[in-house]
Structure 1
């Protein structure tokens, strides 16, 4: 991540830190396979891992504004690729600003849509 993007994420987190949030039991992510143009919704419970193509996506946490589960979602994710060492992405994705903290992969895009409340 470049320095400017990192500072932008820190600014968003600093602004949103003033907002009261609730912890959700899960999240809905959306994945795009850029080769075939197919999108898939991925529903994950906190602490679980799902496969999307060759990716392994783990949801650590999902938070949303208190009293507004349909509002902005903040998801802590770890994404790795099968057969590769290390992680492709580790951090928070923000539903309202997916470009601020995006995973960089030549074939796949993943972003958070919302938190789940049940």
Structure 2
């Protein structure tokens, strides 16, 4: 008697596709002193400098177009001091549709995820 109900329950659950891994993450950064917003692409496992922040995305995922668009990236952010010493200030997932959910907490800079992409005009680190 229970087996037919379990079979029906399997069809009632929505099917979800696996997230799609992308090699490039696009971020926007705000310098709160100047009020300037900069948009920049970063390859996965590449570290870029935005002001005093070193930003390193480790993964960037989105969902297929048939599903709710949830774009997420796992990143590490270090703050570089004037002496060149870096201190980790953020490690975690960032979501493009909810930038305030898990934000980089810094007095001068804001950084948020825009999208994940398969390509960019920026040459890969090994070709620079």
Aligned position for 2:98: 97
Unaligned runs of 5+ in 1: 1-17
Is 1:22–2:23 an aligned residue pair?
no
Alignment of 1:1-12 (within 5 A): none
Please give the per-residue CA displacement for 1:20-53, whole angstroms capped at 9, x wherever unaligned. 3110011100000011100001200101010001
Q: Distance in 2 between matches of 1:85 and 1:59?
A: 16
| Aligned partners of 2:80 and 2:87 also within 8 Å | no
Q: Which runs of 4+ in 1 moved over 3 A?
A: none
TM superposition score normalised by structure 1: 0.77
Alignment of 1:1-118 (within 5 A): 20-67=18-65, 71-83=69-81, 84-118=85-119
**Bigger Rg over Cα:** 2
Aligned residue pair count: 99
TM superposition score normalised by structure 2: 0.72
| Aligned partners of 1:72 and 1:114 also within 8 Å | no
Q: Distance in 1 between matches of 2:28 and 2:88?
A: 19
